[in-house]
Structure 1
Amino acid sequence: MYQLGWAKADIGIEPAGRAMCGYGMWDHRARGQQTPLYARAWWVGGADGRAAIICVLDMAMVTHSMRAGVVDALTAELGDDFNPETFVLACTHSHSTPGGCGHEAMYNIVTPGFVPEHLEAVVRACATAVTGAKAAAAPTGLTLDASEFAPNDDVAWNRSLGSYLANPEAMPLTETETHLALDRTMSVLTARRDGKPASLLSLFGVHCTSLGNSLERHDGDNKGYAAAYVEQALASDGGGEDESVAIFAQATAGDVSPHFHGPGDVARRNRISGEAEYVEARRNGDLQGETALAATSSTHGRGSDVDGPIDGVMTYLDLTEQTADPRFVDGHPNARTGEPCHGVAFFAGTRVDGPGMPKAIAVAARAQSKLLRRRRLRGLAKLPVEEAERLRRMYEAQDPKDILMEAKPKLQLGTPIDRVRLPDWADPSLAEMKRQARVGALKTSSMVPTVLPIQIIRIGQLALICCPGEFTTVAGRRVVETVRAALDGHGVTEVLIMTYCNDYMGYVTTHQEYEQQAYEGGHTIFGRWTLGAFQTQFEKLAQQLAMPSDDRDYDRDTRPAPQPADELALRSNLPVP
């Protein structure tokens, strides 16, 4: 039994015409609010005074600025009762939520820019939820339960079946069976008081994109509706509604859509528009909520008691220069990650969830990217040694991606961003990026995060792997198996994965999926060996967790470098177009 408490706080960001985060669309602006957006938190205190803290936001992503701000606030508020290594900050990945909360440039371009008051609101809500959960902590039983969606439950489909089937462990499936190409089991941590479920934390991977990019209201999307459904059910079963908290976090959602994928999928998606999208988001969320409640019942789920020590380990990695153990990359002897690059497939978007650039432009961009690669590699001998080595390493890590944007040198198809010839009227997002480059706001700033956190939290016999990106179904499965093997025999019997944790770095595919260069591969920005690098480092971190705390020896000090204050100021509080 733990000292377990829960609480939630309204994030409270007023819609004021700024673009929402997730789709990266200039015109996807917030002009109203459909549902409240919350920070929801659990405080799980062990017998020795240690506590695991899980806070999940109704937001599209977590940034380093968000986590750092919350850590500072909780350190000041809680002192020695707070341990950052056992605190995880995650999100539901709803695409109908505010942006502008990170210091890096790229994912804030459409907002436009960094919005300090948005970040302050998020930090305040998280701190309020966590301290409220601590104050509400009381003796509480904890069980790990599970329930599986039936094959005919319309809740999730794999949106990149060809990539999924490229994995050797994938079972053969047809395009009418995309709903089977994912993990259909929902894991649920259930907090029980007086033998009854009082709060829960659900883990199930499906994109929070039931709502499309043409709507103009803040909304928690399917995960938000799932939480509201369960909170109302729990309240009616014994408590006040304000005391009920249900957290719907993400597992392996990278290649999983809430929209049907198969014959006629685009036409089917197009029939759901406007107000009907909110109805669809609620339907999907209610189904997730029903499944979570079914897992907590006495006739469903594993129902295994969770009890024992609270522990955690966390470190930061420079993802631009990681080497993968050959065991995780089919024996490749020199598998390394590289500098971040976005592929044409990323900018082309996804057919059903969120189309990007027009197909004709994507075809032309792929051709130009291939031509640029050939020209560069033929001319390496004529380049300065440092630039030649950069290009050689970049293509070695990124192939066969058709690279559109090189984030470190800030090039688009080999051209500096501020000199890209596409007219500003043709792409307002690119126009804003060009404008920021011209005024010096991007000169030495990072476009995307490159130093990223990995974390494992232990709650009794459960190990929770906390990942900073969007892991596909099979990629996540491989990480779980890696950590499970490393912790075997050390008191851990269950291993689960939570994604969108502590920062955001795009996608993580298997190297087989990466070769297909669907959307997910195009947004796996550190290259084809990214998953192997994560497996390598998660294995090492799990081995540290298995040691007595006094014997552990791993990097606790590395953090992302601050962004240049003068450049950040140039892209902060920008006027709403």
Structure 2
Amino acid sequence: MKTQRDGSKQNAPDPSECRTSARLTARSALCLIASICSLCLVYLTSSTFLLRNRHPLAGIFDDAKSSLPVSGNDDLYLIGAGKADITGPVVEINLMGYADMKQVGTGLRQRLYSRAFIIGSIHRPEDRFVYLVLDTQSGDTAVRYGILSGLSTLGPEYAVYAQHNVAVTATHSHSGPGAWLNYLLPQITSKGFDKQSYRAIVDGALLSIQRAHERLTPGRLNVGRTKVYDASINRSLYAYLANPEDERQTYNISEADDGSVEKDMTMLKFQRDSDGKTIGVLTWFPTHGTSLFGNNTLITGDNKGVAADMLEKEIRLLDGAADDFVAGFSQASVGDTSPNVLGAWCEDGTGDMCSFENSTCSDGRSQKCHGRGPFFREQDNGAASCYEVGKRQFEAARELYDAMQSDEPIHGNVVKSFHVFHNMSFFDFVLPNGTQVQSCPAALGYSFAAGTSDGPGAFDFTQHNSNETNTSPVWKVVSSLLRDPTEEQDRCQGQKPILLDVGEVHKPYEWTPNIVDIQAFRVGQLFIVVSPGEATTMSGRRWKNAVWNGAKELFGSDFGSSEPIVVLGGPANSYAHYIATEEEYGIQRYEGASTLYGPHTLAAYINRTLTFLPYLSSTSIAGSSNKLPQPFPPDNSNNSLNFISPVVFDSPPIFKSFGDIIRDVHEVYALGSLVNATFVGANPRNNLRLEGSFALVEQRQDDGTWKVVRDDSDWHLVYHWRRTNGLLGHSEVDIVWETRGDGRAGKGTYRFRYFGDSKDVGGDITEFEGISGEFRLV
């Protein structure tokens, strides 16, 4: 049995080397309330370029537009892929995403993973980058600092990985354990910061990078695209329609693909040169990780976790794939998408859809407005719908995988990256039309507290039209207790009525980021924009289009007959909430109210990305962006508050031992039945069993031996834990096998095996296991 990886403390990052909350309800937020000079000359000589939203430093690279070969060995790259377990505490920790203090973990449906993809230049091995896809709600500043610090301890061969070339992206699952984020706001509902939860992510991410690094080999990259239908809709269509009609019509292709969300899935295939086998794929497609509802308390990777698991298991069976094939399902322009594809309906007995304008029901409130997934009638907290939406992404990816034999190769052997930190507080810049504008310190509007149809908020807040005049006056008072925004902040935030002026509060430490990550990668003609926030559908398009135009102008001769390909991944590196267009911002639904830095947030991100785009030139020096003068965000991992109770002790009931059977299986079940057994348990926080399992299904073989056929990474094998007597330390564990949905379940003789770890009153932890009786599936 494999046990938990070492959770020992890592050193804080050296500032010279490296240097969030999702839907926090008003209720939980309000409960807590009771340098640059070196570039000046270049900027002054490039005002025309700035006004055209292009890069003022383009001239610093003499050969920025030099042509590159597009065939032969110049189509070879260093490639590697790795995967590791990041499943944190599955019980007694608030889940991260819906910001509901009542949503506390009670078990595990599917393990969480970090999937690492490394791409490097054959000719210049120092030119490489790491793209991580974590089964978490977002990337995070403290997590990224921890990963960079850990990499610095792994030896000289890992010195190539640093601030400029490591991207920490997330699938945006709302069903993972929380309490690992850097800033105070998302820590409120989780009762602070939990080192065990944090270290599980950091250590697993490091292990996935190590595995990818150790497997680095020459290989080829191909890119392909397909459409994914019925896996997402726009949950804020009223705001999307505020964008210019001619712009919207550009993307309105058909009734099934009307442009309101992006249906495109882009896949990057990694194929090693030695034997032609595929070692991994990385996909980008936007849909929220909210298939499972706010009443779900089982840890999962949501729909993208399902898709990745299904594709890995399927492809590993093929002769043309490596045994350790890795599938990354990265987010894209996710901000206004929803996997609840049947729309938002009122659960109030009326049978009506929610108000189009503000997502309310007959009582004028938002609490009864809920999105419906494909199997919303199932009383399973969204599990069947989650599996179906994940399956739809898997099926599209599977078809694309087979069709990509002759799709577009990535060529040129240019691998570049940049990363800089940028302070959004009162940042002055010029739009392409010459208008001087400003981004602002972070603030959240009244409609932020309304939540969305995926997870409604509380009280009398609604989307689009909430402000201090039509909500209870108590919110104005409570808002003022946090901080009254200055006139400058009010003016900067424009149409947003400020509920929480979080960017100007620094006690006891920062509530949200004002300093954000600006990052992009390039491999050949593929450009990856790494977004710290949730870009809406149209925001993502504008950002990608700006990069496409900038790349075409700066590096056009690099591409030969090809055109630039631009994808966007996020939320990454930190959690900077949402990025709405200026028009959507003016509507002030949830996404606009959660766009932290004012109406020009998107324009600021585009400006900064284009400013540093020449660092993706074929002649730029690896890591040169690290030397730019820049602010650094704080690392709060060692000074965050923590009010989470530890495990005190475990004890079995009298005349029982840990692992004993309380309720055993039946002897015979029909295929499609629920099979379950109950054991004398202990708190799984005693040992996360990373790279291991709490529960197994074993099948008896013809020779009488037992073979593991399911573990707790499998969707249909569910581990439940419950405390039965807190004073005496008693608890029970249920292991449930849902054979109805498990297409791989077959006739045979099986048994359950349970692994646990008990903590005595002295703090010592002891392993144990339990085995159920045998049962037959017929």
Structure 2 residue identity aligned to 1:277 = G
The Cα of 1:305 is off from its aligned counterpart by: 3.3
Which structure 2 residues correspond to residues 39-118 of structure 1 after superposition, within 5 A?
Answer: 39-47=114-122, 48-50=124-126, 51-79=128-156, 80-118=159-197
- The 1:16–1:242 alpha-carbon spacing in structure 2 relative to 1, beyond 3 Å, is farther
- The 1:468–1:409 alpha-carbon spacing in structure 2 relative to 1, beyond 3 Å, is closer
Q: Does 1:35 align with 2:114?
A: no
Structure 2 residue identity aligned to 1:483 = V
Task: Determine which of 471, 480, 486 is the counterpart of 1:391.
Answer: 486
Q: Is the 8 A contact 2:169 2:573 kept in 1?
A: yes
Give the structure 1 partner of residue 663 of structure 2. Answer: none
Which structure 2 residues correspond to residues 123-162 of structure 1 after superposition, within 5 A?
Answer: 123-149=202-228, 153-162=229-238
Task: Determine which of 268, 285, 289 is the counterpart of 1:189.
Answer: 268
Q: What is the distance in 1 between the residues matched to 2:461 and 2:543? A: 37
Q: Does 1:540 align with 2:618?
A: no
Structure 1 residue identity aligned to 2:284 = L
Q: Secondary structure at the match of 1:44?
A: strand
Q: Secondary structure at the match of 2:631?
A: coil
Q: What is the distance in 2 between the residues matched to 1:546 and 1:373? A: 50
1:366-418 per-position Cα deviation (integer Å, ceiling 9, x unaligned)? 4168999999xxxxxxxxxxx99x622211221211221111455xxxxxxxx
Q: What is the distance in 2 between the residues matched to 1:470 and 1:110? A: 20
Q: Secondary structure at the match of 2:248?
A: coil
Q: Secondary structure at the match of 1:292?
A: helix
Q: Does 1:512 align with 2:559?
A: no
Q: What is the distance in 2 between the residues matched to 1:74 and 1:550? A: 21
Q: Is the 8 A contact 1:199 1:234 kept in 2?
A: no
Structure 2 residue identity aligned to 1:170 = R
Moved more, 61-70 or 300-309: 300-309
Q: What is the distance in 1 between the residues matched to 2:201 and 2:344? A: 41
Task: Determine which of 492, 513, 535 is the counterpart of 1:471.
Answer: 535
Q: What is the distance in 2 between the residues matched to 1:347 and 1:339? A: 19
Q: Does 1:164 align with 2:234?
A: no
Give the structure 2 partner of residue 338 of structure 1. Answer: 440
Which structure 2 residues correspond to residues 278-427 of structure 1 after superposition, within 5 A?
Answer: 278-298=383-403, 302-327=407-432, 333-351=435-453, 353-359=454-460, 366-367=468-469, 391-410=486-505
The Cα of 1:300 is off from its aligned counterpart by: 8.4
Cα RMSD for the two superposed structures: 3.1
Q: Secondary structure at the match of 2:223?
A: strand
Q: Secondary structure at the match of 1:503?
A: coil
Structure 2 residue identity aligned to 1:32 = G
The Cα of 1:573 is off from its aligned counterpart by: 4.4
The Cα of 1:297 is off from its aligned counterpart by: 2.3
Q: Is the 8 A contact 1:191 1:200 kept in 2?
A: yes
Give the structure 1 partner of residue 54 of structure 2. Answer: none
The Cα of 1:287 is off from its aligned counterpart by: 1.1
Which structure 2 residues correspond to residues 541-556 of structure 1 after superposition, within 5 A?
Answer: 541-546=612-617, 548-549=619-620, 555=628
The Cα of 1:123 is off from its aligned counterpart by: 0.9
Q: What is the distance in 1 between the residues matched to 2:132 and 2:529? A: 15
- The 1:360–1:543 alpha-carbon spacing in structure 2 relative to 1, beyond 3 Å, is closer
Structure 2 residue identity aligned to 1:461 = Q
Q: What is the distance in 2 between the residues matched to 1:220 and 1:33? A: 10
1:159-210 per-position Cα deviation (integer Å, ceiling 9, x unaligned)? 111111111111398xx97964111110000112444544100001110111
Q: Is the 8 A contact 2:193 2:637 kept in 1?
A: no
The Cα of 1:535 is off from its aligned counterpart by: 1.1
1:472-524 per-position Cα deviation (integer Å, ceiling 9, x unaligned)? 01111111111122222413622211121111110000100000001100100
Give the structure 2 partner of residue 420 of structure 1. Answer: none
Task: Determine which of 291, 300, 318 is the counterpart of 1:237.
Answer: 318
Structure with the higher helix share, 1 or 2: 1
1:209-229 per-position Cα deviation (integer Å, ceiling 9, x unaligned)? 111100110001100001011
Q: What is the distance in 2 between the residues matched to 1:462 and 1:126? A: 24
Q: What is the distance in 2 between the residues matched to 1:52 and 1:484? A: 20
Structure 2 residue runs of 5 or longer lacking an equivalent are: 1-75, 346-352, 354-368, 478-482, 648-725, 727-778
Q: Secondary structure at the match of 1:30?
A: strand
Q: Secondary structure at the match of 1:146?
A: strand
Q: Is the 8 A contact 1:325 1:532 kept in 2?
A: no
Structure 1 residue identity aligned to 2:132 = C
Q: Secondary structure at the match of 2:101?
A: coil
- The 1:487–1:241 alpha-carbon spacing in structure 2 relative to 1, beyond 3 Å, is closer
Q: Does 1:121 align with 2:193?
A: no
Q: Secondary structure at the match of 1:298?
A: helix
Q: Which has the larger radius of gyration?
A: 2
Give the structure 1 partner of residue 22 of structure 2. Answer: none
Structure 2 residue identity aligned to 1:469 = G
Structure 2 residue identity aligned to 1:4 = I
Give the structure 2 partner of residue 250 of structure 1. Answer: 331
Q: What is the number of equivalent residue pairs in this alignment?
A: 524
Q: What is the distance in 1 between the residues matched to 2:331 and 2:290? A: 13
Q: Does 1:2 align with 2:72?
A: no
Task: Determine which of 620, 628, 634 is the counterpart of 1:561.
Answer: 634
Structure with the higher strand share, 1 or 2: 2
Q: Does 1:458 align with 2:522?
A: yes
Q: What is the distance in 1 between the residues matched to 2:191 and 2:222? A: 44
Q: What is the distance in 1 between the residues matched to 2:295 and 2:341? A: 19
Q: Is the 8 A contact 1:143 1:304 kept in 2?
A: yes
Structure 2 residue identity aligned to 1:465 = V
> Sequence identity, in percent?
26
The Cα of 1:549 is off from its aligned counterpart by: 2.2
Moved more, 340-349 or 295-304: 295-304
Normalising to structure 1: TM-score of the pair? Answer: 0.84
The Cα of 1:268 is off from its aligned counterpart by: 6.8
Q: What is the distance in 2 between the residues matched to 1:364 and 1:41? A: 42
Structure 1 residue identity aligned to 2:520 = I
Q: Does 1:269 align with 2:375?
A: no
Q: Secondary structure at the match of 1:367?
A: coil
Moved more, 273-282 or 507-516: 273-282
Normalising to structure 2: TM-score of the pair? Answer: 0.63
Give the structure 1 partner of residue 96 of structure 2. Answer: 21
Q: Is the 8 A contact 1:10 1:39 kept in 2?
A: yes
- The 1:285–1:306 alpha-carbon spacing in structure 2 relative to 1, beyond 3 Å, is farther
Q: What is the distance in 2 between the residues matched to 1:210 and 1:204? A: 15
Q: Secondary structure at the match of 1:244?
A: strand
Task: Determine which of 590, 594, 597 is the counterpart of 1:526.
Answer: 597
Structure 1 residue identity aligned to 2:578 = Y
Q: What is the distance in 1 between the residues matched to 2:219 and 2:404? A: 21
Q: What is the distance in 2 between the residues matched to 1:360 and 1:289? A: 37
Q: Is the 8 A contact 1:146 1:301 kept in 2?
A: no
The Cα of 1:108 is off from its aligned counterpart by: 1.2
Q: What is the distance in 2 between the residues matched to 1:211 and 1:13? A: 18
